[in-house]
Structure 1
């Protein structure tokens, strides 16, 4: 086992910092409520180190305090990369050699989600984190549908383009909208395609849990910080049967 505790001022002191908003006007009572909430969450002692009004009826807090919880890193469940990370040149070569045609990717933001920063970071040639997006790969055909794409339209375009993969970005998460939209999308594709002909379904966004792919009915979930190269490498691995490294 590998047991760890949070680090604040000294190793293993259990100190953590927590931020949240309460639907109350800023006052001494509000700060006391914030400290009480932190105490009920296991912080002892809990010190309100920052409080700022957010309009007349809300207050944002930062609380600093000690927790007594331990974490066993051997029991942490994560999704490890199970495919080789390829350069754009290697991606192009693999697609050309194994598919012998361009790999077709259709992407967009579904439902009412109008935040295209995530999908554009992966698809647009300008890319993200120093990597060029999938439009840069000459052996990939990229169709970016943009924002607020309905699920029926996404399915229709995927069929028309004979897509190998469908990439969906979801940033809006109120009331688990991203999860509901993803499940709706997965169900629609399963209804529209025979299983052996269905395109790969890939979703991503800052609030997704990478371990939920099976539960959501998709082939892969990518969380925050994912780069275009990681997505391209995954697509090649799954669509060409390339061995993991």
Structure 2
């Protein structure tokens, strides 16, 4: 049992979990019974329906609480670890200036019908996120924020016009795998428009992405929720120096 963990609710090792879901049924005792039955089939048994709320005339939202028997082994978890150092804005600026002798151009957008700009703005806008300034704050970065609902052809055209070094795309809308479809379309379009050695770095982010899918989706990096501007800026410098064969950027004493 060493290293295995079980969910915690009221007491250590009790396996208690809480899940929420919506059933396409009007609220009734039968609907609550159906919710408990679904929870049991999910391995939650006995399941207690602790909350049931009608969502219009034909749907009901449920919260179910109960124990599961499953154990998890953290040693078997596969994640994408950061493989580059986090740099300060000053270090990023110095690395870009030394390697490029010009500003590094970043084009950002929400593509397709996605109108949620909070994510892309958190990374690009000077106000930033989590206490960090956005990429607009970096003196040696030129940021072009195209905003929301940008078509893939328009994004490619702007990247060509701006001679972009990196393209950052945010995808929040995930219904019917829209974020995956849009990302695949975007990566294919850039590979068609650019020769391999001149294609800008493609970075996508959003709360429902699996960071391990970068190669499958044809992009250079995927970021999930909680990503900060400094992480993205450091990654751009890391990949830029690898591409140019300049080695790792110098780091100043903290």
Decide: shared fold, TM above 0.5: yes
Quote the residue 1:40 is aligned against. 41
Instruction: Look up the match of 1:25.
Output: 26
SS in 2 for 1:197: coil
Distance 1:49 1:111 in 2: 38
- CA distance in structure 2 between the partners assigned to 1:73 and 1:92 by the alignment: 38
Q: Aligned residue pairs: how many?
A: 245
Task: Output one character per residue of 1:32-81: Cα deviation in whole Å (capped at 9) or x when no partner.
Answer: 11000000001111110111111111111110011111111111010000
Q: For residues 55-111 of structure 1, what are the alpha-carbon distances to aligned partners after superposition, in whole Å with 9 as ceiling and x for unaligned?
A: 111111110011111111111010000010011111111111122110000000000
Task: Say whether the 8 Å CA contact 2:89–2:138 is kept in structure 1.
Answer: yes
Q: Which runs of 5 or more residues in structure 2 are unaligned?
A: none
1:13: how far off?
1.0
User: Which residue does the alignment assign to 1:175?
Assistant: 176
What are the Cα deviations for residues 221-243 of structure 1, in whole angstroms up to 9, with x where unaligned?
00001011110010011001354
1:122 maps to 2:92: no
Quick one: distance in 1 between partners of 2:8 and 2:100? 50
> Aligned pair in 2 of structure 1 residues 143, 31: CA closer, same or farther (>3 Å)?
same
For residues 147 and 99 of structure 1, the distance between their equivalents in structure 2, rounded to whole angstroms, comes to: 30
Q: Distance in 1 between matches of 2:29 and 2:226?
A: 39
Runs of 4+ aligned residues of structure 1 deviating over 4 Å after TM superposition are: none
Hey, what does 1:52 align to over in structure 2? Answer: 53
Q: Is the Cα contact below 8 Å between 1:99 and 1:240 reproduced in 2?
A: no
Measure, in 2, the Cα distance between the counterparts of 1:105 and 1:137. Answer: 11
Gap regions ≥5 residues in structure 1: none
Q: 2:232 matched to which residue of 1? A: 231
Q: Give the TM-score taking structure 2 as reference length.
A: 0.94
TM-score (normalised: structure 1): 0.98
Distance 1:37 1:243 in 2: 52
* Structure 1 residue 2, shift from structure 2 partner: 2.1
